[in-house]
Structure 1
């Protein structure tokens, strides 16, 4: 189970400052609600995906 900062706190930070567990958790969460995302939610999801890709993918995001 995820035990970290919530989206309220994370939304005030650059995605580059999120830790890997946060990226992984919220990536999964957003995948579950894709049909319900508004434009802002879609932008956040895209930024999360881009940051994961910049780090080399989910398999390589352990740690940080």
Structure 2
């Protein structure tokens, strides 16, 4: 599993919604370790992850170039 893919997954709306749906508690919100272990994630083949990594690199490079102008 590539760290670029994992980072994008953890920052995604999908993951946020999956975690929020498991949160319990009134005043102090928490998610149990058991619920974390039950979270389902999509793990594409390494070739797809590599393609995503390349795409993310170019997007970030473009963002940096547009911000430095």
Same fold (TM over 0.5): no
Q: Highest Rg: 1 or 2?
A: 2
Q: TM-score, normalised by structure 2?
A: 0.31
Q: TM-score, normalised by structure 1?
A: 0.33
